[in-house]
A and B are shown apart, each in its own frame.
Chain A
């Protein structure tokens, strides 16, 4: 992380303020606030059940928090839905893979181009010239992403038939295809072997470096997190217990306790 970056880390692009979320009596997140700066790689870590995925789901609008606000690009968003966030330029991947299983890899990535598709179904039915033009643009961009992720040889395979590691890659590709300014990655490296993990890290950094896409990722593997992220926020029992650069977080006593356990 020493070389000069093409995209300098800028102002906060995403701000989460005092979010509280509970399911019935179970509190998943309690009064959590943090921010994400433009063009940075931000990691959210924490032990199992710390509320990391719930946090992403709140940002993305899948869950509605009982309290707190999410501001994106300087605007507070009152009624968050996944659709509104997508239109504003926020894309994501899912923890348990949410791919379109019966569709091919390329088609999955093409769905990511939805917001760059303006033609309606009648125009598509009659294949008007502008549909062909738009389809070509979208296909070209998707092919670019396919070759960027080095998955050219499987692009026509139905996603459901692919191994887990490749599916994770396709999901990243689909999120990339939206050309969003920020991508939330929910455990992009879970269940991968060392080699696949290294590949994934390379892709995340490359995207961040070349396109300036802000990355927010949840990860279990501490080593990976410390290597690739600019700043880390640590959650435990739905609360922030540490926030700062990897080095700051590593030396934070609360974080060490949460991860290694503490004698009572």
Chain B
């Protein structure tokens, strides 16, 4: 498969075109209920973006990090302050700068990765989670001295036009996520991604080939935090429409970690699959509870069942398919292909026999 445009093969471009048609034309025409935009599509895009960030540092560079929500909080509050204090930057400008601010935190908290690894690094990166949230809570400046604890996010205005309807916000998220996903794919498939994976698979050999561990790891942390920061800003401004540090607690970090693992470590499309699964699964369970059992099962039991099933799935995936749902999908496609050989294959196998 030769790349046709940038690093994308013909198949990628076709997939991209299909996704774009679906998300730009089909979804807006057929889905009219606000619920789908505000509660499913927008958070899905935001969390998928954050999961790509987690993928870069964990799936590609192999550094066990657990602080995605902390970087998201950094991005969200940076965005709030930038729009408040530097209005000239505009929405897109603020989004990029808040990503960069999150990236600065990423560099700071990525430094331990040079000395510790594995589960110990995970504990070290937890510091980012707690430190950033603590910092925002402690210093009133970040919240513009708001005493209520929950600040309303400013309206999104791009080039003088307000983007306040759910559909408009969905398009903002879609645009940002698409651009950043395409850039992430370029990096992952280019020399940058090869360096990441080399460090993941065998760091001592990577170093002997001239790959600097310091630069590669810190770079991965920075880029990862940038993605999380942008995702956090979108999450706060398009989904929550408010800013509170509690929204970015450790639970969200774990959620993103699960999305990353279930989706498939070291894959970009896995980020979208994982995020969709973790977001949609509770919705599906609730629907089953309401429609099949007509509310006979208590809602708290359903949410407990959800946890049980997530836990079980994590274990099952870790044992049978450590590369997650993206790999599972690949395998299914592969099996499908071998089961139904195309006509040319049949012809060639026939001609071989004769």
Contacts and interface: CB of A to CB of B under 8 A. Distances in A.
Interface string A80-113: 0111011100011010001111110001001111
Chain A, interface size: which category?
A: 35 or more
A124 interface: yes
B208 A91 contact: yes
Interface string A134-162: 11001000000000000000000000000
Given A86-B209, A114-B210, A127-B6, A107 B201 contact: no
Most chain B CB within a 10 A radius of its CB, from A83, A111, A131, A178: A111
A168 to B, nearest CB: 13
A1 interface: no
A209 B251 CA distance: 61
A100 B183 CA distance: 24
Most chain B CB within a 10 A radius of its CB, from A81, A113, A119, A121: A121
Contacts of B207: 81-83, 86
A213 interface: no
B194 A107 contact: yes
B328 interface: no
B186 A103 contact: no
Given A125-B183, A178-B210, A103 B198 contact: yes
B194 A99 contact: no
A178 B209 contact: yes
Contact of A98 (B186, B200, B205, B219): B205
A259 interface: no
B183 A111 contact: no
A62 B200 CA distance: 18
Contacts of A178: 209-210
A174 interface: yes
A174 B202 CA distance: 13
Contacts of A174: 205, 209
Contacts of B202: 98-101
B86 interface: no
Most chain B CB within a 10 A radius of its CB, from A113, A115, A119, A127: A127
Contacts of B184: 125
A174 B6 CA distance: 25
Given A101-B202, A103-B198, A135-B191, A127 B186 contact: yes
B187 interface: yes
A82 B204 contact: yes
B191 A103 contact: no
Nearest to B213: A83
B179 to A, nearest CB: 10
Nearest to A174: B209
B242 interface: no
Given A91-B209, A111-B195, A115-B210, A102 B201 contact: yes
Interface string B136-152: 00000000000000000
Contact of B211 (A85, A114, A125, A126): A114
Interface string B176-217: 000000011011001110110110111011111111110000
Interface of A: 60, 62, 81-83, 85-87, 91-92, 94, 98-103, 107, 110-115, 117, 119, 121, 124-127, 131, 134-135, 138, 174, 178
By Cβ-Cβ distance, the 7 closest A-B pairs, closest first, are A98-B205, A100-B201, A86-B210, A124-B190, A127-B6, A115-B210, A82-B208
23 contacts: A82-B208, A83-B210, A85-B208, A86-B207, A86-B209, A91-B208, A94-B205, A98-B204, A102-B200, A103-B194, A103-B201, A111-B195, A113-B191, A114-B194, A114-B211, A117-B191, A121-B219, A124-B190, A127-B6, A131-B190, A131-B191, A138-B191, A178-B209
